[in-house]
Chain A
Amino acid sequence: MIVAVPHQATDQATDQSADQSTDPAPPRTARLHRPLTVAEAVEILADGDAEILAGGTDLVPALRARQREPRRLVALRRVLELRSRGASANMLIIGAGVTYHDLTGWSLSPGLAAMARVVGSPQIRNTGTVGGALGTANPRGDLLTFLSAVGTEIVINSARGARTVDVASFLATGLAPTELVTAVRLPRPCGPQVYLKIGSRQAASAALVSCALVVDRVHERVTCAIGGIAHQPTRPAAAEEFVRQGVDWSTGTIPADVVAGFGELVAEAAGAVPDPLPDDVGVSAAYRRHAAGVLAARAVGRCLPAAAPGAIPGSAGPGSAGPGSAGRFRS
């Protein structure tokens, strides 16, 4: 008869037998840094061969599976200055350590809040951070798609100082190993914003396809980003220009044929990307192109209703009862 016990004893549980000098499988990761300030963090990164541990939702499972074995880890959990968010007259500034959860109730950016609420599960939203999403740069990442639509600057620090790049350049060129994303800066909403996402189930799902759409009433333009089509969010420039010209900016309304035409142009743009993502487990590439057009048309229709002039910034206006409109998620 086996005398097996549930594993409860503390001392026994520790792996005392392994002599590290002869361990055949020492994990490469040998140092954990837990800086308290950005200055400390970038000083550590300057020595190279370190990986940044942000929320951990991607990196920690990858460490366990030994898919990633950085020599050093720089954990940002205790860098409080990365966890602030704020606003100036026309910008929102969000620290890289801000979690999705922190954004879900943020009244200054209802669109961002709506996006944050549909990220993953509550556990992921409580853990995942803005900086982590940029570091992982998953081509379907919700945040990347949203930031691509609103026109975001990424603030990057290193021991040599700070620089900012726009999100598209950031995604194209990435981050040097010695650099740290410290914040993102995006314009304050000047009109409605929506984020629409298709997942593989009703909640707690990664985005298969998504669309962020931002209306700027001040500058009279519409910007849009589609996630899930290519290796970074797709900005359909021709479609954006088409809709800009089609909107009656004096009333904030949009004719139905412009909505439909916009969707078609977005689907067209999705079909023309140079680096399309292949068919995947859940959905085909053809479906994702189709859905991109549907989502884009819906997004613009929700932001710019046919008969609702004078909607206040940050709200989709009284005529739009459509689900997912930014106004619905104001809290």
Chain B
Amino acid sequence: MADSRSSGDQEFTDHAAAGQGIGRSVPRPDGADKIDGTFPYAGDLFLPGMLHARTLRSPHPRARIRRIDTAAARRLPGVAAVVTAGDVPGRATYGLIVADQPVFARDVVRYQGEPVAAVAARDARAAVRALAAIDVDYEPLPAVTDPERIVSVGGEVDPLHPDGNIFREIHLRHGDPAARGTVQVSDSYVVGMQDQAFLGCEAALVVPTADGGIDMRVATQWLHSDREQIAACLGIPEDRVRLTLAGVGGAFGGREDITLQIHGALLARVTGQPLRIRYDRVESFLGHPHRHPARLWFRHTASRRGQLVSVHARVVLDGGAYASSSPAVLANAVTHASGPYRVPHTVVDGWVVRTNNPPCGAMRGFGVPQVAFGHEAQMDRLADALGMDPVELRRRNVLEPGDVLPTGQLVADPLPLREAIATVAARPLPAPVSDRTPVTSLPGGRLAAADPGRVRRGVGYALAYKNLLFSEGFDDFSTARVRLELGPDGTPRAVVHSACAEVGQGFVTIAGQIVRTELGVDQVLLAPADTAIGSAGPTSASRQTWMSGGAVRAAAVTVAERLLGRAAGRLGLPPEVVAEPRRLLALADGEIVASEAGTRLPLADLLADGPVEAVEVFRHRRTQPLGPDGQGDVHVAFAVAAHRAVVDVDVDLGLVRVVSMALAQDVGMVLNPMALRGQAEGGTAQGLGLALMEELVVDGGVVRNPTFHDYVLPTIADVPALDFVALTHAQPGAPYGVKGVGEAATCSATPAVVAAVRAAIGRDLRRVPIRPQDLVLPPGQAHPADLVRPDAGGGG
């Protein structure tokens, strides 16, 4: 690419040969240990003599608990403790935004899998046996599983929880609600429940401490939020709850909520012994919140020339039994509902409601993938209705700096939407299917059922934008400490301390790159992430490179200032120079250079007087709360992604193969080309999974497929090579002009794949994941569970 864009092929060949600073493909510092299998994940941790803890969960989606008898379980040999709701000494409930979820169900259970009790025993088998010995007398109640019904009755009838059945509703009004264009398309869409399916199941190691508190090593996305909730439920001060991040085997939003933390902490305190609590895969599926299933309706209108005039939308998210992050997810879904387009008149009504389905919360994209599937399907339909090319329709309507969003917020920063869609449209297309196409490259792949004569190719485009960082006025910050010192070998090194949860995204790599760039030292150590330092905020919302990267950079810059000040003093420079040393001194290549005098002071000499340290807190610009009409300057910034998907479909069998994916993503600036590419590819694969195969099927409140046998994940045979182009436009206010890159691609991948399938078969597709029957059977037969049955549960 000749312009500001950087072609993947040119950009990403640099493997750290020329340095370890910003802009380089520096390999992960924990990579070698992960490859050798010596990197300790939470589930690998072990203490001699530790107890093993397990959780008892409700088999019913909704039931009254008449009685819980734990006596038999307590009497079993090897059982150290059994705890239930009555044993929670502090606040009885927890939650990310609203503390509405009981630590243990007391009188009622509200979803299948809700924790009822937990046990600690001397080994895992004894713990499992003790669970079986707990006698819970349930009176099953009719489960409420249809979110639409909650909306239609206003949430007041049959409250499932004292807080009511509606977590939040937003009625966004922008422009003239009566305005209409001459061309109109409308339809309904359904999004199934996706699971994060991180590979390393939930686990924590907990040790009771002499001060009545606990030490915990845990795989989580947000140590400080966990600490706050644990301390509240234990009824002890937060400073007695010390958390350290254990190795995290993926997260994707699924570790943002508390799962086993409070149970483990409680049992450790009750028994006075160290213990490990962990989930297996089935329990992991039941234990953490999922991506919200959605029911969507849209009406788009446009002028004859293809200018969007209005978007009316209705968004119903099934939040499941407890709030988790539902209120924030709904805000995202509603404010992004019309997509990255200039829409003068917007009406969006959104609800996220309580049902007896599994709780839903954060997953990569956070409300945007659901609406992106809908608004992009609508854009294609509108293009059809107008007889216009779908790429051209998008080009004509994309937002640009200076435009106003449906929230009334002004687009102030670069938003390269037109560039993104044009870039993917210009990428070379893969070769068509021919007689020489190997069977493994046809739909169905290795399974060999496809008939090349019945394969149709489709090309689809999708464009999405995703807010970065926390919205709606949240006071979001990250804390970091950088300390420059002499290592044991007498050479200078930097130690970085942040509570940022490394979940695989590569913050540990970026932090080292930042410190090397700012301080010019080779050796950078990362102290364990823990609660001994202030919060770094969660690893979510595409925020850590920006926020914690910003904090690390700020701390490093302050260290450099102090070091230069020390050098100025050492060199006998006047006080005004000591106060502002950068006027005369610079830090370069591990030395202090006095530019005018030509004097050089090695870092090691300066650090002999002791280390230099700084703690900095980084904040992004303040936003506003969302007003009652859905208006406000609510989002900090946005990232843009455009995908082009090429698929082959066997039109008789409804088999789909994704042949190629091209992605142009707005990344701000590139800090680590290799890590960036990894995020783009991983995000694309998860979007592909939602389009074609991933669904946690919930029937009458009961999860039918909580295993990797039935919850189908994309394999290496399902995900084609990604033709990736990074669009670089520096983001104001962000360190090095970077944008978070984890989420945008997930939002556009799903609708692009669906658009390609639609193009291949010429049939409207209103549901993800697409199932083979949706492509070959008459719609009435294809959608019995979703669009006809009145109480169809969580999207399945």
User: With the chains together, A253 CA to B167 CA distance in Å?
Assistant: 66
Question: Among residues 699 to 728 in chain B, which have CB atoms less than 8 Å away from a CB atom of chain A?
Answer: 704-705, 709-710, 712, 714-715, 717-718
Asked if residues A206 and B46 are in contact (CB atoms below 8 Å), the reply is no
User: With the chains together, A284 CA to B205 CA distance in Å?
Assistant: 43
- Can you name the residue of chain A whose Cβ is closest to the Cβ of B244? A2
Name which of B74-82, B637-645, B674-682 contacts chain A.
B74-82
User: With the chains together, A321 CA to B38 CA distance in Å?
Assistant: 49
**Beyond A203-B445, A328-B439, 5 additional pairs, beta carbon < 8 A:** A17-B49, A24-B76, A200-B712, A282-B710, A287-B773
Asked if residues B717 and A287 are in contact (CB atoms below 8 Å), the reply is no
Question: Among residues 168 to 196 in chain A, which have CB atoms less than 8 Å away from a CB atom of chain B?
Answer: 195-196
Question: Among residues 12 to 26 in chain A, which have CB atoms less than 8 Å away from a CB atom of chain B?
Answer: 12-13, 15, 17-18, 22-25
Which A-B residue pairs are the 5 nearest by beta carbons? A202-B445, A323-B439, A25-B129, A324-B448, A287-B773
- Please count how many residues in chain A sit with their CB below 8 Å of the partner chain's CB atoms: 51
Q: If A201-B715, A206-B709 touch, does A1 touch B448 (CB 8 Å cutoff)?
A: no
Question: Among residues 271 to 313 in chain A, which have CB atoms less than 8 Å away from a CB atom of chain B?
Answer: 279, 281-284, 286-287, 290-291, 294-295, 298
User: With the chains together, A321 CA to B47 CA distance in Å?
Assistant: 61
- Can you name the residue of chain B whose Cβ is closest to the Cβ of A206? B709
Which residues of A have CB within 8 Å of B717? 201-204
Asked if residues A6 and B44 are in contact (CB atoms below 8 Å), the reply is yes
Asked if residues B781 and A284 are in contact (CB atoms below 8 Å), the reply is yes
Question: Among residues 420 to 476 in chain B, which have CB atoms less than 8 Å away from a CB atom of chain A?
Answer: 435, 438-439, 442, 444-452
Which residues of A have CB within 8 Å of B787? none
Q: Is A85 an interface residue (CB 8 A)?
A: no
User: With the chains together, A195 CA to B654 CA distance in Å?
Assistant: 18
A-B contact list, 20 entries, CB within 8 Å = A1-B242, A3-B47, A5-B46, A5-B47, A12-B46, A17-B122, A23-B78, A24-B76, A24-B77, A25-B129, A196-B449, A198-B447, A199-B447, A201-B692, A201-B715, A208-B772, A284-B784, A287-B773, A290-B777, A324-B449
Q: Mark A26-47, 1 if CB is under 8 A from B, else 0.
A: 0100000000000000000000
Q: Mark B377-406, 1 if CB is under 8 A from A, else 0.
A: 000000000000000000000000000000
Q: Is A251 an interface residue (CB 8 A)?
A: no
Q: Is A205 an interface residue (CB 8 A)?
A: yes
Asked if residues A202 and B215 are in contact (CB atoms below 8 Å), the reply is no
Asked if residues A323 and B452 are in contact (CB atoms below 8 Å), the reply is yes
Interface centre among A18, A201, A290, by most chain B C-beta atoms within 10 angstroms, is: A201
Q: If A18-B78, A24-B79, A281-B697 touch, does A6 touch B46 (CB 8 Å cutoff)?
A: yes
Q: Is A197 an interface residue (CB 8 A)?
A: yes
User: With the chains together, A204 CA to B715 CA distance in Å?
Assistant: 8
Asked if residues A323 and B450 are in contact (CB atoms below 8 Å), the reply is yes
Question: Among residues 748 to 787 in chain B, which have CB atoms less than 8 Å away from a CB atom of chain A?
Answer: 771-773, 776-777, 781-782, 784-785
B residues apposed to A, CB below 8 Å: 38, 40, 44-49, 76-79, 122-123, 125-126, 128-130, 205, 207, 215-217, 242, 244, 246, 435, 438-439, 442, 444-452, 652-655, 657, 692-693, 695, 697, 704-705, 709-710, 712, 714-715, 717-718, 771-773, 776-777, 781-782, 784-785
Asked if residues A7 and B448 are in contact (CB atoms below 8 Å), the reply is no
Which residues of A have CB within 8 Å of B782? 284, 287
Which residues of A have CB within 8 Å of B44? 6-7
Asked if residues B446 and A203 are in contact (CB atoms below 8 Å), the reply is yes
Which residues of A have CB within 8 Å of B130? 24
- Can you name the residue of chain A whose Cβ is closest to the Cβ of B79? A24
In the complex, what's the smallest C-beta–C-beta distance from B32 to chain A, in angstroms?
A: 15
Q: If A2-B217, A24-B76 touch, does A286 touch B439 (CB 8 Å cutoff)?
A: no
Asked if residues B444 and A202 are in contact (CB atoms below 8 Å), the reply is yes
Asked if residues A118 and B46 are in contact (CB atoms below 8 Å), the reply is no
Q: Is A117 an interface residue (CB 8 A)?
A: yes
In the complex, what's the smallest C-beta–C-beta distance from B433 to chain A, in angstroms?
A: 11
Which residues of B have CB within 8 Å of A261? none
Q: Is A4 an interface residue (CB 8 A)?
A: yes
Q: Is A114 an interface residue (CB 8 A)?
A: yes
- Can you name the residue of chain B whose Cβ is closest to the Cβ of A263? B652
Q: If A2-B215, A118-B446, A202-B446 touch, does A286 touch B777 (CB 8 Å cutoff)?
A: yes
In the complex, what's the smallest C-beta–C-beta distance from A27 to chain B, in angstroms?
A: 7
Q: Is A322 an interface residue (CB 8 A)?
A: yes
Interface centre among A2, A117, A204, by most chain B C-beta atoms within 10 angstroms, is: A2
Asked if residues B122 and A18 are in contact (CB atoms below 8 Å), the reply is yes
Q: If A18-B123, A22-B78, A198-B447 touch, does A287 touch B776 (CB 8 Å cutoff)?
A: yes
Asked if residues A6 and B715 are in contact (CB atoms below 8 Å), the reply is no
In the complex, what's the smallest C-beta–C-beta distance from A328 to chain B, in angstroms?
A: 7
In the complex, what's the smallest C-beta–C-beta distance from A7 to chain B, in angstroms?
A: 4
Asked if residues A290 and B771 are in contact (CB atoms below 8 Å), the reply is no
- Can you name the residue of chain A whose Cβ is closest to the Cβ of B711? A281
Asked if residues B771 and A282 are in contact (CB atoms below 8 Å), the reply is yes
Which residues of B have CB within 8 Å of A321? 435
Q: If A2-B207, A198-B772, A322-B452 touch, does A7 touch B46 (CB 8 Å cutoff)?
A: yes
User: With the chains together, A25 CA to B73 CA distance in Å?
Assistant: 12
Asked if residues A298 and B452 are in contact (CB atoms below 8 Å), the reply is no
In the complex, what's the smallest C-beta–C-beta distance from A206 to chain B, in angstroms?
A: 7
User: With the chains together, A198 CA to B652 CA distance in Å?
Assistant: 12
User: With the chains together, A200 CA to B657 CA distance in Å?
Assistant: 11
In the complex, what's the smallest C-beta–C-beta distance from B103 to chain A, in angstroms?
A: 22
In the complex, what's the smallest C-beta–C-beta distance from B439 to chain A, in angstroms?
A: 3
Asked if residues A201 and B693 are in contact (CB atoms below 8 Å), the reply is yes
In the complex, what's the smallest C-beta–C-beta distance from B438 to chain A, in angstroms?
A: 8
Asked if residues A283 and B771 are in contact (CB atoms below 8 Å), the reply is yes
User: With the chains together, A75 CA to B717 CA distance in Å?
Assistant: 33
User: With the chains together, A204 CA to B40 CA distance in Å?
Assistant: 29
Which residues of A have CB within 8 Å of B123? 15, 17-18
Which residues of B have CB within 8 Å of A202? 444-447, 657, 715, 717-718
- Can you name the residue of chain B whose Cβ is closest to the Cβ of A323? B439
In the complex, what's the smallest C-beta–C-beta distance from A133 to chain B, in angstroms?
A: 16
In the complex, what's the smallest C-beta–C-beta distance from A306 to chain B, in angstroms?
A: 13
Asked if residues A284 and B693 are in contact (CB atoms below 8 Å), the reply is no
Which residue of the partner chain, among A12, A23, A284, contacts B773 with CB atoms under 8 Å?
A: A284
User: With the chains together, A99 CA to B88 CA distance in Å?
Assistant: 53
Q: If A196-B449, A287-B654 touch, does A205 touch B712 (CB 8 Å cutoff)?
A: yes
User: With the chains together, A322 CA to B439 CA distance in Å?
Assistant: 8
Interface centre among B79, B126, B773, by most chain A C-beta atoms within 10 angstroms, is: B773
User: With the chains together, A15 CA to B125 CA distance in Å?
Assistant: 11
Which residues of A have CB within 8 Å of B49? 17
Asked if residues A287 and B448 are in contact (CB atoms below 8 Å), the reply is no
In the complex, what's the smallest C-beta–C-beta distance from A224 to chain B, in angstroms?
A: 15
User: With the chains together, A204 CA to B709 CA distance in Å?
Assistant: 10
In the complex, what's the smallest C-beta–C-beta distance from A279 to chain B, in angstroms?
A: 8
User: With the chains together, A291 CA to B697 CA distance in Å?
Assistant: 22
Which residues of A have CB within 8 Å of B451? 298, 322-323
Which residues of A have CB within 8 Å of B47? 2-5
In the complex, what's the smallest C-beta–C-beta distance from B705 to chain A, in angstroms?
A: 5
In the complex, what's the smallest C-beta–C-beta distance from A20 to chain B, in angstroms?
A: 11
Q: If A15-B123, A282-B771, A323-B442 touch, does A298 touch B449 (CB 8 Å cutoff)?
A: yes
Q: If A198-B447, A286-B781, A323-B450 touch, does A4 touch B657 (CB 8 Å cutoff)?
A: no
Which residues of A have CB within 8 Å of B45? 4-7
- Can you name the residue of chain B whose Cβ is closest to the Cβ of A211? B449
Asked if residues B449 and A287 are in contact (CB atoms below 8 Å), the reply is no
Asked if residues A291 and B452 are in contact (CB atoms below 8 Å), the reply is no
Asked if residues A200 and B777 are in contact (CB atoms below 8 Å), the reply is no
Asked if residues B205 and A2 are in contact (CB atoms below 8 Å), the reply is yes
Which residues of A have CB within 8 Å of B207? 2
Asked if residues B125 and A25 are in contact (CB atoms below 8 Å), the reply is yes
Which residues of A have CB within 8 Å of B448? 114, 118, 195-197, 323-324
User: With the chains together, A282 CA to B79 CA distance in Å?
Assistant: 41
Which residue of the partner chain, among B38, B244, B442, B718, contacts A201 with CB atoms under 8 Å?
A: B718
In the complex, what's the smallest C-beta–C-beta distance from A70 to chain B, in angstroms?
A: 17
Which residues of B have CB within 8 Å of A195? 448
Asked if residues B77 and A291 are in contact (CB atoms below 8 Å), the reply is no
Asked if residues B712 and A282 are in contact (CB atoms below 8 Å), the reply is yes
